Amino acid sequence: MARTQVAIIGAGPAGLMLGALLARHGVDAVILEARSRDHVEHRIRAGVLEQGTVDAMDEVGAGARMHAQALVHDGAILRFGGRSHRVDFRALTGKAVTIYGQHELVRDLVALRVAAGAPLEFEVDDVRLTGLETARPEVRFRRAGVETVLHCDFVAGCDGFHGVARAAIPSERLRIFERDYPFGWLGILADAPPSSHELVYAHHDRGFALLSMRSPQVSRLYLQCAADEDLAAWSDARIWDELAVRLAADDFTLTPGPITQRSITPMRSFVAEPMRHGNLMLAGDAAHIVPPTGAKGLNLAIADVRLLAEALAAHYAGDPALLDSYSAACLRRVWKVERFSWWMTRLLHRFDDGAFAARIQRAELDYLVSSHAAQTTLAENYVGLPLR
């Protein structure tokens, strides 16, 4: 048997950041991860960091490589009707966003934990959570065929949408809110220099497209596609041709290159309430999913664990109030971010719901690029809302 104060399920950004923040508060934690270290460090996901996420990396001492390699963007480009319109985040809010791949952030946090000699177990299986409504929860798991029982005060479920944490909560204790969108994203990673110095969000009659990047040599691009799209039907040439059409504008040239990764991402919104059950706290994708249009999934997970770390530290200092209000505090922010992600998705994608709706969509885009107030609203949400 083993003992810790907090058992963290999942070594993605949320679990690793929670472990790092708790360590700074002197709270013991063990992190358990089903996948291998190599898998979690090379899993390509998000790459746009809010200032709050950058601040958290600095707070735990994991930000050096990020600052050396990341790209800072003071704005983003909206493109529709073949014309580009820049939204200046810095001028509107005084803040910017940082482009740094999620897998790189994970590598930094893993390295930080390993260097500290803090418990981090990869490739565990058969994870079972018991006693969640008691003062002494248990986490049972196997590693290399050996079963271990981990006793703890709290369990943090940071193990994603398909993990065991949320599934351990009786269904009658949860209220689920969800929406599935009738399309997905075909995403590629390409060894090609970015064709724009800032992100380009493009609305086109053929569907949405996004030009993003991971470094000065690597581009990340997306195309709206059918929810059940056959990835095999998309050759490299077809992908680049379609991107060129949807991203077209005056004085713009798309730079193609070898495609190193491709995948189809479903688009959905999901929230589970509450985010606490007994002494189990959910964080990140275990509790909520946002469509990627607003670049919020990773950042929302980091915001959750910033609140959770603060609440657990206060609990061990003798004040349970923050932990008691953890779910409500998170959900207030979660629903604002869900709203923004839904709005960005609705604004930029093709919806086959008639000519009237299409005209309304174009009118909203026209209003957005002509209104200082509307651009400020977009910028405030995109760079990140306050933690509370």
Domains and CATH numbers, the chain: 2-73+97-178+268-345 (3.50.50.60), 181-267+353-383 (3.30.9.10)
Write the pLDDT tens digit of every residue in 183-231: 999 999 999 999 999 999 999 999 999 999 988 999 999 999 999 999 9
386 is catalytic: no
Taking alpha carbons only, the member of 14, 23, 30 closest to residue 152 is 30
Backbone angles phi, psi at 287, to 5 degrees: -110, -25
73 is catalytic: yes
292 is catalytic: yes
Which pLDDT score is estimated for 127?
97
Give me the catalytic one of 181, 201, 222, 326. 201
Give me the catalytic one of 103, 204, 277, 296. 296
203 is catalytic: no
Pairing mode, if any, of strands 6-9 and 154-157? parallel
> How far apart, in Å, are the Cα atoms of 3 and each of 25, 169, 270, 283?
18, 22, 33, 22
Q: Which helix (H) or strand (E) holds 326?
A: helix 326-348
CB 268 within 8 A of CB 289: yes
Query: SS3 of 125, please?
Result: strand
Give me the catalytic one of 137, 194, 291, 292. 292
pLDDT in tens, the chain (388 residues): 699 999 999 999 999 999 999 999 999 999 999 999 999 998 878 789 999 999 999 999 999 999 999 999 999 999 999 999 999 999 999 999 999 999 999 999 999 999 999 999 999 999 999 999 999 999 999 999 999 999 999 999 999 999 999 999 999 999 999 999 999 999 999 999 999 999 999 999 999 999 999 889 999 999 999 999 999 999 999 999 999 999 999 989 999 999 999 999 999 999 999 999 999 999 999 999 999 999 999 999 999 999 999 999 999 999 999 999 999 999 999 999 999 999 999 999 999 999 999 999 999 999 999 999 999 999 999 999 999 8
